[in-house]
Structure 1
Amino acid sequence: MYQSQPRRGLLPELDNNAPLQSDFVAPVAAALRQIGAALEDVIHSVYLSGDVARRAADEKAELEFTLVTQRMLNVQEFSALNTIRWRVEQSSDAVKSVSFEIVPLKEATNFANIFRWGFFFKHCTICLKGDNLADSFGHFEVSWEISKAMNEDLIVRLKELRQKIALATKWGTQLDAAEEVAKRLIRASFGLVAHRTHTWEVNLEQCSAAFLEFYPDKSLEMERLFYLIQRKPVKKRAVVALMDAFGAWVNDEYAKIDRKIG
């Protein structure tokens, strides 16, 4: 999964050359071919993150792609990605869903974003196509700056998911949104303590365990978030109440720690 460990205190990077789990080889290759055909002139590089990139996926997993582009995509290009998403999701029982995050090259290489994109490309992805931006960065060590940068979009994304839950007319749509809410809140919670543990966890159970060592009074919230990850049917009102209350607490805690450290 990882390349050889760098010197003490620095984080390892994912092994770009190790084979993917067999169930995901074909759908990843199909996605890559279609991305290249649809966006050949605008793509700088393509990355894979998440459980599949870490070679730690279950029988079904999300394919999480990040596309670094020479410019922002237009409406037709976004439409082409939606078509690719649908085709790849239908191509294999192992693919739970497909997501694309688009990052213009200028943003990805801006030094002001080093704790977001520099850390992400170096330690959270494998490069599938193009010039690997990870080669532009040295290894990082866990810091408060990284935790902040990796969770800076939390409140914006929670608002989007809240709206998705409110408008959902099918259980599948609501369960998908609630599951993403839970995963984001658990990982954001871990971000509050990562600089104190000097580790960077990606496994949700490990994230939760590390967080609860410092915030044991939040065990009930963690339990309820894992209930959502299990995709148990929960009324919209209860899901929204949990994400609003705990999301606000996490956001306030980030601000509190930032004032203290800053």
Structure 2
Amino acid sequence: MAETASPRGLDSQGYLEREGSLGRIAHDFRPVVAAARDRLLDVFGGRMHSAYVFGSIPRGTARLGRSDLDLLVVLRAEPTDGDREDARLLGEALDKEFRRIDGVGTLLYSKARVLSELERYDMGWFLACLCTPLLGEDLAEYLPRYRPDSRLARETNGDLALLLPRWRQRIADANSDEARRPLVRFMSRHLVRTGFTLVMPRWNGWTSNLAEMAEAFGTYYPERAEQMRAAAVLGYEPTGNAAVLRSYVDDLGPWLADEYARVHGVKAPRPD
């Protein structure tokens, strides 16, 4: 009898399965992904080792006009400012041409960085488990299999305390609802994902659905469950409410950073 995968994103041996595939991309989004693939080749050419798509589009859950296109580009050398500008212009052009997406986000890393020991349980895990190969050799072949354990929790989101001062500055610089809305979306998602990875080893699985993440978190921290459920909603439908952002950096964020450090420790320092 064939073994079936766990509904919590694990295979029969308890390892995290890779989420998403090109086959799950909805018909409406296939032209966007095809255009991105061709233009990545045009823009980066031989500088690029491989490219991946991640997020709601390869998971098959993207919403027309609401979801963004998320790309990971692995270069043969460390990204330069010119590479980052090229990626920004490519994303702007795709966003302008295809109204079915709401923005393009592109991560740039070098092959050496992705495969480094330092990144093995952060960017390496992200590539191997959350990214769908689009171009070039799949670096997941050089990475280990992953379990939803405390080491993975620590190295993925154990740096929230370092991020909070930067978030406070970004909030201070945002002086309109229009400027605050993307911050609410980003910070809501980050806090929900951090809350989920805090409890991930006990929950023993993986999901990228914000509502499911919030419910999993609430099982172990019922006193904070409503805050996390509200953040999950705002991760999909953000407002420009300044009070929400203040609550993130004055209450939920500091509490979550302290509890994360207590349970899993602090993420290994990065050079950048």
Structure 1 length as normaliser, TM-score? 0.88
Match of 2:257 in 1: 251
Match of 1:136 in 2: 142
Contact 2:79 2:109 in 1 (8 A): no
Deviations 1:48-78 (A, max 9, x none): 1111121121223111111111122222222
Deviation of 1:156 after TM superposition, in Å, equals: 4.5
Match of 2:239 in 1: 232
Contact 1:165 1:178 in 2 (8 A): no
The unaligned stretches of length 5 or more in structure 1 are none
Which residue, out of 137, 148, 151, partners 2:157?
Answer: 151
Map 1:165-180 onto structure 2 (within 5 A).
165-180=171-186
Match of 2:59 in 1: 54
The CA distance in 2 between the partners of 1:48 and 1:41, in whole Å, is 19
User: SS at the partner of 1:65?
Assistant: strand
Contact 1:181 1:243 in 2 (8 A): no
The CA distance in 2 between the partners of 1:19 and 1:258, in whole Å, is 34
Deviation of 1:104 after TM superposition, in Å, equals: 1.2
Deviation of 1:28 after TM superposition, in Å, equals: 1.6
The Cα RMSD (Å) is 2.1
The CA distance in 2 between the partners of 1:124 and 1:147, in whole Å, is 15
Match of 1:205 in 2: 211
- The structure, 1 or 2, with the larger RCO (C-alpha pairs under 8 Å, 6+ apart) is 2
The CA distance in 1 between the partners of 2:193 and 2:20, in whole Å, is 23
Task: Determine whether 1:43 maps to 2:35.
Answer: no
The unaligned stretches of length 5 or more in structure 2 are 6-10, 266-272
Deviation of 1:167 after TM superposition, in Å, equals: 1.8
Pair 1:103–1:156, CA change in 2 (3 A): farther
Contact 1:119 1:140 in 2 (8 A): yes
Pair 1:233–1:91, CA change in 2 (3 A): same
Pair 1:104–1:153, CA change in 2 (3 A): farther
Which residue, out of 29, 35, 44, partners 2:34?
Answer: 29
Deviations 1:157-205 (A, max 9, x none): 5444443332224433310111110000001001111000111121001
Structure 2 length as normaliser, TM-score? 0.85
Deviation of 1:153 after TM superposition, in Å, equals: 4.6
- Could you tell which deviates more after superposition, 196-205 or 73-82? 73-82
**Sequence identity percentage:** 21
Match of 1:215 in 2: 221
Pair 1:23–1:243, CA change in 2 (3 A): farther
User: SS at the partner of 1:67?
Assistant: strand
